[in-house]
Amino acid sequence: MPDVLTVRVQTDSDSFQEVVVKIERRTYNKPFLGGFRNMSRGVEFHNAGSQTNPKRRPDKGIQLFCKETQTVVEKNKQQQTRNTTSTQMTKIGLYVSNMTDKLITPGKYFTAEEYHKRRLEAVIVLQKYFRRWHAINLVQNLMEQRRLRLAQEAQEELQKKREEEEKLRREYEKKLNPKTREDFELLYHDLELWMREETERINRTLTGAERKAALCALLEEETELIACFGMHKLNANVESQQKAILKLLELYKLFLKCAQSRRWKAFDGKITEMDTPNTLRGKELLEIYRSISTNDIPKDERTSVLLALKCTVKEHECKLTQEIVTLIDREVDLMSREVKECNLEGLRKRICTLFLQYIKIPEFNPEIAGLLKVPQDPLKLYKNVYFCHSCENYLPSTKFPIPANSRTIGRCRSCYQLDNEARKREAYFKYRLILETLRKSEVDYQDDTKIVFLVQLPDMQYLIENIWNSQSALSACSDLYELVMIRWDKQHEWSPWNTILLTKEEADAHLKLCNLQKAYEAPFIYKIKQKHIWAKNYFAQFPAMSSFLHRSNDQANAN
């Protein structure tokens, strides 16, 4: 709309006048004043407002201010005003009835001290009731805490009893059906304890020929038990053979991995695959293995598969390939003679096993060289292979137990185990648990501790039996299943001269202490220090411990 409009206005019946109208733009938004809508057409009509600005008040030349209402601050104050009264008495000519009168007698007057004393007694009564209520609540809270604590202790005791029963059940199960080396250690250890008790009883109660006869009968019983243990070992060996089969299956998974194509992602996100000569060789061997492993196939297909396998292995001449070729010829000959399929299962399994060994050799399957854990270069193994003078076998270093005080390589673990079963019959299972728990806890500190990994089972056995007397330093608990070895001072790494033997609950409480001098009494600390000196003198004989001993002495001098 333009700012100026020309409007033609009729002034007379025949005359018209043009009037110039100036449009004033509004400087504010007009308020919505309501309206209505036509129901038939749906057109909305709004109520119109004034197009002119609101009328301003004339300026009187006086500055006006708008103020709030002024209120008076009120204050209430009690005052006693005079009140003139009169009393009508009986006189001549006037009778006033006294039927409604009351006789008032003055009470006992009490002073301000008595008033305050009375208020004090009332306050004391209130305090008594409040203190009684507070004491009842306090006692109830203490009783509730005691009930919860007793319930928790009962629950812990029940849990401990269940764990003890479960431990005994596991031990009984291990002794009834031994499977591992630790299970047979426990069996031979119990046999040795039983033999000592029976021998002492026979020597104490019998003499002469009766004693010799009883010892012979005891020896026969021991022989029968050892033979029974041997039967259990045979059964355990059968299970180990089953595990060996599972290892072959893992080898098959490894074979599948080496037959995969090389894959990588390009800049545009697409996956590119490439087959190298090694992966193609792996795929070829995989297809052959799947073919010879398939059962219930016709004889013609089986014969063609065996011929393909024979042509593949003939590419390399060695003892393994010759054995595979011999077995293939044998199976083809037996199939030509119409031998039943069930009688060929053993022969076919043997062919599959030898072919898996063939696949595992990098000379025949180059792709598998990067997936094997054992290096194929014999020169890399010469430095870690040692000779056992007992069984006269060359074994890797992991097969030899090397104590911290050892200077030479002795017998292998199998020879130690055999000698232990025949002579000492000691059980290292409990000491092994304590050592493994200690190593796990030291790894959690993440302070590059080293001494704990130098200590071996014989060292731990000496430390527990000779220095700590196989019992807790606090409660004298002698159950090795409940004992753990931790740091005496948790700020320094574990060592035989910075350790203490406690139960699991005592160990948790000990590690929460900040100041050992305040937590323990002086005689107990002196006793622990004496044990540390004893351990330091014993382990000072070991060459591997000398550097750690000097470092601990330097730290002690610095402190």
Contact 385, 378 (CB under 8 A): no
Average pLDDT over residues 25-52: 77
In 3D, which of 500, 474, 467 has the Cα closest to residue 486? Answer: 500
- State residue 120's pLDDT score: 95
- State residue 67's pLDDT score: 58
pLDDT in tens, 171-225: 888 888 888 888 888 888 888 888 888 888 888 888 888 888 988 988 898 888 8
Q: Is the pLDDT of residue 261 over 80?
A: no
- 94/97 Cα distance (integer angstroms): 10
- 530/533 Cα distance (integer angstroms): 5
- 495/488 Cα distance (integer angstroms): 9
- State residue 113's pLDDT score: 92
Domain limits of the chain?
Answer: 181-252, 271-368, 437-557
pLDDT in tens, 293-335: 777 788 888 888 888 888 888 888 888 888 888 888 888 888 8
Amino acid at 82: R
Q: Is the pLDDT of residue 254 over 80?
A: no
Q: What is the CA radius of gyration of the chain?
A: 52
Tell me the two tokens of residue 16: 């018209």
- State residue 121's pLDDT score: 95
Average pLDDT over residues 509-521: 88
- State residue 140's pLDDT score: 96
> Given the structure tokens 């005691």, which residue do they identify?
146
Low-confidence winner among 92-96, 145-149, 446-450, 543-547 (lowest mean pLDDT) = 543-547
- State residue 93's pLDDT score: 84
- State residue 134's pLDDT score: 96
Contact 199, 212 (CB under 8 A): no
Contact 428, 185 (CB under 8 A): yes
* Cβ atoms within 10 Å of 182's Cβ, excluding its own: 16
Q: Is the pLDDT of residue 391 over 60?
A: yes
What is the band of 119 on the pLDDT scale with cuts at 50, 70, 90? very high
What is the rounded average pLDDT for all residues in the chain? 81
**495 contact partners, CB below 8 Å, separation of at least 6:** 451, 548, 552
Quick one: 321 exposed, middle or buried, by C-beta within 10 A (0-12, 13-18, 19+)? buried
What is the band of 148 on the pLDDT scale with cuts at 50, 70, 90? very high
Tell me the two tokens of residue 266: 């390009």
Low-confidence winner among 46-60, 252-266, 414-428 (lowest mean pLDDT) = 252-266
Global pTM reads 0.52
Contact 399, 413 (CB under 8 A): yes
Average pLDDT over residues 269-281: 71
Average pLDDT over residues 241-252: 58
Average pLDDT over residues 134-153: 95
Q: Is the pLDDT of residue 32 over 80?
A: no
Q: C-alpha angle 52/57/59, rounded to 5°? A: 130
What is the band of 480 on the pLDDT scale with cuts at 50, 70, 90? confident
